[in-house]
Chain A
Amino acid sequence: DTEVTQTPKHLVMGMTNKKSLKCEQHMGHRAMYWYKQKAKKPPELMFVYSYEKLSINESVPSRFSPECPNSSLLNLHLHALQPEDSALYLCASSHGQGAQDTQYFGPGTRLTVL
């Protein structure tokens, strides 16, 4: 398996809802990432997990809560989001070491907050 998968593909939620995004990879990668991407903008890093430990939090609001249950799975728990949080949420993974640590992206979850 050489792909990063994400579910769901689309998600519509209200500002009081709680939902979760899921990411999975079976490439043996030990680093996993969450990015947020607005239309016509580059991906913006949110979190990095390295060997299942949170290594980077780019000052993301606490309404976004990441979780890495094991080396293949990465979740992003959402609570009390704002309409401006509507975006494409991309997961990525990489080997986690080495000078050429290529990141491979999943297809993303298109999130709309009403």
Chain B
Amino acid sequence: GENVEQHPSTLSVQEGDSAVIKCTYSDSASNYFPWYKQELGKRPQLIIDIRSNVGEKKDQRIAVTLNKTAKHFSLHITETQPEDSAVYFCALRGGGGNKLTFGTGTQLKVEL
């Protein structure tokens, strides 16, 4: 099946700094790339997503970039706040069906 590598596994930043999480994949037919945030004990929540025909998408402090040629996509969080602390999962959907493949997750900690 599709393989998604996510890095780093843990990320610690100071409040106000930026955070970047990167995912790489192998299936060039992948066409949809969502990012989920999961706080401790809570459900995964979609925070942003991007389709394969778009290179970048931004929503306030959060942005996602997609490089189809290099087969990687990244989550960018600017002006981080303590409430951004959570586990972030990238995911993607391949060329057919509605199955999502998840990355291994990044534990983000925003320190005061």
Binding site for B on A (CB under 8 A): 31, 40-43, 45, 48, 50, 55-56, 90, 94, 96, 99-108
Contacts and interface: CB of A to CB of B under 8 A. Distances in A.
A100 B43 contact: no
A107 B99 contact: no
B98 A48 contact: yes
A101 B51 contact: no
Interface residues of B, number: 23
Contacts of B93: 101
Interface of B: 31-32, 34, 36, 42-46, 49, 51, 87, 89, 93, 97-100, 102-105, 107
Chain A CB within 10 A, most for which of B31, B42, B45, B97 = B97
A32 to B, nearest CB: 10
B37 to A, nearest CB: 11
A42 B102 contact: yes
A55 B42 CA distance: 27
Contact of A102 (B34, B43, B107): B34
